[in-house]
Structure 1
Amino acid sequence: MQLIFVMGAMMLYAVGSRLFLGKPVNWIMEMSQFMLAAYFLLGGPYSMQLNAHVRMDLFYGRLSPHKRAVTDAFTILFVIFYLGVLFWGGVSSTEYAITFNQKNYTSWAPLMWPIKAIMTFGVFLMLLQAISSFFKDLALARGKPIA
């Protein structure tokens, strides 16, 4: 969670360097984008674990806890499928980046495999958390909740 402060400090450094020293820093924007991707993809599984993610509450709030569990157990299957495909693509993309020493097409030209590996790991954690949620919702739908 503290990564947001590091990103803020980096952006302040970039602005200060450009305004006061007259020396723009070309890698800051790209590095902050990489950090934001890591922040987002590693924070998603944590918020899902805490059940703190945002839901579209049009009809869901009116359902009984049992019907919510049934709905969640059904809909999480689509999320698991999506995350499985995303993970498969992430592994493939990371493998490509490592094999061919892929670099970004900017003046800084950072290696791409570290951020791709972090993003793939975040998707993997989200997939594990979605599978865990599926079994918890399934147990609740059957009337035998898991702690």
Structure 2
Amino acid sequence: MPKPVRWYILAVDALSYWVGRLALYLIFVMMGTLLFAAFSRVTFNLSFVWLVETMQFTLVAYFLLGGAYSMQLGSHVRMDLFYERWSERTKAVVDAVTICFLIFYLVFLLYGGIASTEYAIKYGETSRTAWSPPMAPIKVIMCFGIGLMLLQATARFLKNIAAALGVRAT
């Protein structure tokens, strides 16, 4: 593989790894938020409307920022009817073809996410709840996560092409 392709794969893998490792800790933010909500409700009979929505926003960030890391680790769900019986080269060819569909989907998802983020920033969009937080921050995180997933999908595509050709990608 050419050096720029190897550099791209290594850079995207490193970025996905570090963002994913940081996103792992968001589970503790979600747990703390829900624990505080339950504790305040049971102990002081106080209900905070912003706690559940904060947890939901954190869950979105956790899910989207961890997607590229999950793909890097090969943790995504795969239909394993025939896959395990195939040679490594056949797996790489099939993965390269199917990942094209994922890349196509992610491009349109990112396009819609950017348009939605621009709208949220331009018009000061807020959530339609009693708390009514601004939507722009979570939409920016959403676009970053989708963009990172797109980068990781293209890196995975390049790795699959290299494997199909019998070349080492990195």
Q: One fold, TM greater than 0.5?
A: yes
- Kindly provide the CA deviation profile for residues 14-52 of structure 1, in whole angstroms up to 9, marking residues without a partner as x: 011111101101111111010001000000101112223
Aligned residues: 147
Matched, 1:103 2:126: yes
Q: What is aligned with 1:82?
A: 105
The structure with the largest helix share of the pair is: 2
SS at match of 1:27: helix
2:81 corresponding residue in structure 1: 58
Q: Percent same amino acid at aligned positions? A: 53
Q: 1:5: how far off?
A: 1.1
Matching of residue 131 in structure 1 with residue 154 in structure 2: yes
- Tell me how large the CA RMSD over aligned residues is: 0.8
Name the stretch that deviates more: 79-88 or 46-55. 46-55
Consecutive unaligned residues in structure 2, runs of 5 or more: 1-23
Tell me how far apart the structure 2 counterparts of residues 72 and 100 of structure 1 sit (CA, whole Å).
Answer: 41
Letter in 1 for 2:153: A
**TM-score, structure 1 as length reference:** 0.97
The ranges of structure 1 where at least 4 consecutive aligned residues each deviate by more than 6 angstroms after the TM superposition are none
Q: Considering Cα pairs closer than 8 Å and 6+ residues apart, tell me whether 1 or 2 has the greater RCO.
A: 2
Question: Which residue pairs with 1:20 in the alignment?
Answer: 43
Give, as a single letter, the amino acid of the residue that structure 1 aligns with 2:76: H
Q: Match of 1:60, as an amino acid?
A: Y
